[in-house]
Amino acid sequence: MPMTKENQNEISKPKKHWTMALVESMKDAELIYKDTERIVIIRDKYPKAKIHLLVLPKDNINSIYKLTSKDVALLEEFGEIFKLIQKEHKNHLLNAGFHAVPSMQRLHMHIISKDMVSPCLKTKVHWNSFTTALFKPYNDVLAELKQYGAIKEIAHDIYKTLKTTPLKCNQCSYIPKNIPQLKEHLLSHL
């Protein structure tokens, strides 16, 4: 492409890979919910529940698998933020945790309300990524980091099994036949 005044920005700024989108969103004033010296909290762009926020470090830590003992204080700050956000949303029960197999770069903790009512929740993988062991609760990750100084990766066959776990309501024993039936049922818990 020849360089012209109109396209020089496009040429000089190559498009970032989609897995880097959270790092871009950390600078997006419309998505930023709060920030501190070390952390940015953004609204998830495709929320899977009524409340869905992401907590990210400003430091370039790629995922939970890059955490070391030196990061315990940072992770404890994630916990303080979770407590604060739970206080701000007294009418919603919130969960905090990390995906065992994240798709996006930069460490991010999900803070997500238990309702799981959202038009963006569309697939079994979406559901299972928050309601099975694919979702590693914040307290477990903190305890593992304190004990071992690192987080152990999940085995690939376990990941595959968890992704295809049969659907089950996260708030009662209801077993839906499919996602539309599950979504309809979730409304009864509101």
Residues that bind ligand AMP (CB under 6 A): 21-22, 25, 31, 42, 44-46, 99, 102-104, 108
Q: Which member of 74, 101, 142, 169 binds Zn ion (CB under 5 A)?
A: 169
Query: How far is Cα 51 from Cα 136, in angstroms, rounded to an integer?
Result: 18
- Cα–chain-centroid distance for residue 56? 10
- 126 included as an active-site residue: no
User: Rule CB under 5 A: is residue 86 a binding residue for Zn ion?
Assistant: no
- Residue 123's Cα: distance from chain center in Å? 16
| Interface segment toward Zn ion; rule CB under 5 A; list 1-9, 87-95, 132-140, 163-171 | 163-171
Q: How far is the CB of 30 from ligand AMP (least distance, A)?
A: 10
Whole-angstrom Cα distance, residue 69 to residue 35?
A: 23
Q: Which of 89, 108, 110, 189 is the catalytic position?
A: 108
Per CB under 5 A, which region of 30-38, 79-87, 131-139, 162-170 contacts Zn ion?
162-170
- Interatomic CA distance for residues 115 and 32, integer angstroms: 23
39, 159, 189 from 55: Cα distances, Å: 7, 23, 27
Distance CA(67)–CA(77), nearest Å, equals: 14
Report the nearest approach of Zn ion to the CB of residue 187 (Å): 10
For residue 151, the minimal CB distance to ligand AMP (Å) is 14
25 binds, among Zn ion, ligand AMP, none (CB under 5 to 8 A by kind): ligand AMP
Residues contacting Zn ion: total by CB under 5 A: 4
Among 63, 174, 176, 183, binds Zn ion (CB under 5 A): 174
* Alpha helices (H) in 89-137, listed in sequence order: 124-131
169 binds, among Zn ion, ligand AMP, none (CB under 5 to 8 A by kind): Zn ion
Give yes or no for a contact between 33 and 53, defined as CB atoms under 8 angstroms apart: yes
CB 94, CB 85: distance < 8 Å: yes
Find out whether 140 and 99 touch, Cβ atoms under 8 Å.
Answer: no
172 binds Zn ion, rule: CB under 5 A: yes
Closest distance of CB 37 from ligand AMP, Å: 21
Instruction: List residues with catalytic annotation.
Output: 108
